[in-house]
Chains A and B, each alone.
Chain A
Amino acid sequence: AQKITQTQPGMFVQEKEAVTLDCTYDTSDQSYGLFWYKQPSSGEMIFLIYQGSYDEQNATEGRYSLNFQKARKSANLVISASQLGDSAMYFCAMREVPLGGSYIPTFGRGTSLIVHP
């Protein structure tokens, strides 16, 4: 079963508008972490934002915010005031603690965001 689901293969947004990228996750653990990464065409995975399962407030980093709805197992990324340089693949990931104790992030399939002028 998919642990991370990103239902939007592609999204378009106009420059300066806000956009929400969806992510739902599946876990039975109480303690876990959620991440978003940006991957431009150069290939590097760039860390954007992190949300811990026990964090009561939504994480924010500059123009990025994570809309964390724990009961719905949802961790959507909101990008405000989109810029042309935001065009990239975006990946949602989750880190659980399995019995072996290893923290191994699992990634979704990604959403391609295109920002147009």
Chain B
Amino acid sequence: GAGVSQSPRYKVAKRGQDVALRCDPISGHVSLFWYQQALGQGPEFLTYFQNEAQLDKSGLPSDRFFAERPEGSVSTLKIQRTQKEDSAVYLCASSRASSGNTIYFGEGSWLTVV
């Protein structure tokens, strides 16, 4: 596609429910990033893939968060047993190479945990 596509755009989950957020990066982009953005804050890094390899997951806040990119294209961020503090916008971004100068973001998945 023309840009980074994320789904769902909006998700309301009951506390304790599992959620899966999908990211479809720009075709041919090697690098893929997930960020979490709380209301009124800047994006905070969660995890980074180069092709199918997850090279950095230091930003994942707990073991309830899990990300994968099995074929080096589409990525899924899974949050198990959601908590209210997980409410945020989850942004996916991609770039052409690990040294790519321009990183393109999707519109984000807005998660609200009630």
Contacts and interface: CB of A to CB of B under 8 A. Distances in A.
Physical interaction between A and B: yes
Majority-rule SS of B interface residues: strand
B31 A44 contact: no
B55 A100 contact: yes
Interface string B76-93: 000000000000010101
Contact of A102 (B56, B91, B102): B56
Given A4-B42, A44-B106, 10 more contacts: A33-B101, A44-B108, A47-B102, A100-B56, A102-B55, A104-B56, A105-B45, A107-B42, A109-B41, A109-B42
Interface of B: 31, 33, 35, 41-45, 48, 50, 55-56, 89, 91, 93, 98-108, 110
Interface of A: 4, 33, 35, 37, 42-47, 50, 52, 91, 95, 100-110
Pick the 6 closest A-B CB pairs, nearest first: A45-B105, A107-B42, A44-B107, A43-B108, A109-B42, A107-B43
